[in-house]
Amino acid sequence: MSEQAECGGAIVSAPGDRSGPAEARPAVNFCLIVDDEKSLRDLVSRTLRGRMIMTEECGDALSALEVLKRRRPELVFLDISLERSDAVEVIRGLGELRFRGRVQLMSGRDLPLLEEIKRVGERYSLDMLPVLQKPFRAEAILDIVHAAGIAGNDEPGPQVSLHQALCAGRIELAYQPKIDLRSRELAGAEGLARVVHPKHGVLMPGAYLPGADQASLMFLTEFALTAALRDWAEMAHVGAPLLLTVNVPMHALLKLSIAALVRDNRPASPQWPGLILKIAEDQILADLPRAHEIATQLQIYGIRLAISRFGAGRTSLPQLRELPIAEIEIDRRYVSCAENADHATLCRAVIDLSHHFGCQAAAEGIEHLQDLKCLGEMGCDVGQGPIFGRSMPIEKLCALTAQRSLRKQSV
């Protein structure tokens, strides 16, 4: 996954000075994203970069205008509320720079206010696109760049066959730490499959999952479960008998003999805490009675379910209560809750519901300290995301765990 650039710098010419530099030719396939919410910037940037459209991101007017001094995008995505600034400041600067690209306002505020700000831009002779209200999906971004005539590339980077990667032995399981949000101690890890390609390096799921057949996905699930059971012993050896989580698609839960696989491969140690299988909320509805039967059977072997992407699907509460669930995971789109009241309301509801059902509440994709603090104050039990660490090979996780253990002993 490409790293997005973070911006910084000073403001350009003073307000009222219309003698700024002549308009440079817009860079081909380049967009600027100006928003104080990093998760939103990331969504737009990932969507555009997935179509080979280059991006830069900024959280405030000063940084955005500094970028515009050295490079002109074809399109600016602009939120109205920014860090220590607002969209009108950016619009003034764009006018002073005689910007001739297009401007896409986006916000969750009232539409009349957005239309007023759009008219401010038009008075500066800016090409203002119809306003985009939050929340929105990635498809809306693609529609905007297509309508703006930005070609990009429909190929989202290198694509490989999952079947071929499995046959060549290029799949490995990386682990992302899961942290107890009360004690801030390592509470577990989630195993995430990666392809290690000889030419392209480590590839994320977007490079090998689209178009994968069900047989290959079944083999991938079997590989991940077996690897997690094997790797647990290595973690326990360095003093970290962690509770591991593995993603399982619904069809694999229904068709794969997971109980037999666990019987044949589970660690003999009495310390083994079992395993968590994570299934998306929308998938669990495919065959709820059968899922309940299998989940009940798996409890015999220490296997429990976690429901991921909760808040995105259509599961009713009575249906959910029928399942033996260990963890409910908040949909990562709503984890940015510190400065978004709607997200905070949903997070609090999921956390309260989890505790009412006697299971843990988890948050995935935490990036910012303020969101971490907010989730902790709400009573969220477990968290993972870039703020704690990205996925890493088993060897690195064991080394990290061993270092933490030594530091504890020395205190």
Rounded to the nearest 10 degrees, the angle between the axes of helix 87-96 and helix 111-123 is 20
Give the pLDDT band (50/70/90) at residue 3: very low
- Asked whether residue 157 is assigned to any structural domain, the reply reads no
Q: Is the peptide bond before 267 cis (omega within 30 degrees of 0)?
A: no
Whether residue 17 lies inside any domain: the answer is no
For residues 308 and 207, state if they share a domain: yes
3-state secondary structure 59-76: CCHHHHHHHHHHCCCCEE
Query: Which domain does 83 fall in, by range?
Result: 30-147
Task: Tell me the pLDDT tens digit for each residue of 266-325.
Answer: 998 999 999 999 998 878 866 788 888 999 999 999 999 999 877 654 555 666 677 888
Q: Is residue 22 part of a domain?
A: no
Does pLDDT of 158 surpass 60?
yes
Tell me the C-alpha distance between 208 and 398, whole Å.
Answer: 27
**Domain harbouring 319, CATH code:** 3.20.20.450
- 75-95 pLDDT per residue, tens: 999 998 888 889 999 999 999
CA distances from 117 to 31, 41, 138, 194, 388 (A): 20, 20, 24, 45, 38
**Could you write out the DSSP letters of every residue in 288-337?**
HHHHHHHHHHHHTTTEEEEEEEETSS---HHHHHTS-EEEEEE-GGG---
Choice among 172-181, 254-263, 329-338 with the minimum mean pLDDT: 329-338
| The predicted structure's pLDDT at residue 43 | 86
How confident is the model at residue 272, as a pLDDT?
A: 94
> Domain tally for the chain?
2
Beta strands 171-180 and 382-383 are antiparallel
Tokens representing 326 are 């260990």
Pairwise pLDDT comparison (52 vs 352), residue with the higher score: 352
DSSP element (H, E) containing 267:
none
pLDDT at 40 over 90: no
The answer to whether residues 51 and 175 belong to one domain is no
With respect to residue 299, please indicate whether it lies within any of the assigned structural domains: yes
Final residue before a domain boundary, out of 100, 121, 147: 147
Question: Which of 2-16, 115-129, 245-259 shows the lowest mean pLDDT across its residues?
Answer: 2-16
- The enclosing domain of 102 has a CATH number of 3.40.50.2300
> Same domain, yes or no, for 186 and 131?
no
**Cα–Cα distance for residue pair 111/153, rounded to 1 Å:** 32
Residues 168 and 73 in one domain: no
Q: Do 195 and 94 belong together in one domain?
A: no
DSSP letter string, 331-377: -GGG---TT-HHHHHHHHHHHHHHHHTTSEEEE-----HHHHHHHHH
Nearest to 115 by CA among 127, 130, 101, 126: 130
Report the C-alpha gap between 87 and 84 in whole angstroms.
11
Task: Identify the domain boundary among 147, 173, 193.
Answer: 147
The pLDDT of 38-54, averaged and rounded, is: 83
The predicted-structure confidence for 223-262, as pLDDT tens digits, reads as follows 999 999 999 998 888 888 899 999 999 889 989 999 999 9
Is 20 contained in some domain?
no
Is the pTM higher than 0.75? no
Co-location of 136 and 205 in the same domain: no
- Assess whether 181 and 62 both reside in one domain: no
Looking at the structure, do residues 167 and 98 belong to the same domain, yes or no? no
> Both 276 and 204 in a single domain?
yes
- The residue among 120, 147, 174 that closes a domain is 147
Q: Are residues 92 and 222 located together in one domain of the fold?
A: no
Is 377 within a domain? yes
183 & 92 share domain: no
Please give the structure tokens belonging to residue 285: 């509805």
As a whole-number percent, the residues of the chain with pLDDT over 70 amount to 86
Question: E strands of 14-140, at which residues?
Answer: 30-34, 54-58, 75-79, 81-82, 85-86, 102-107, 127-128, 132-133
CA 143 from centroid of its chain's CA atoms:
22
Two tokens at 56? 């830069």
Is the confidence at residue 411, as pLDDT, over 70?
A: no
Name the residue with tokens 């491969």: 265
> 106 and 188 in one domain?
no
Among residues 263, 248, 264, the alpha carbon closest in space to that of 298 is found at 263
Query: Quick check: is 406 in a domain?
Result: yes
Assigned domain for 200 exists: yes
Is 406 a residue whose pLDDT tops 80? no
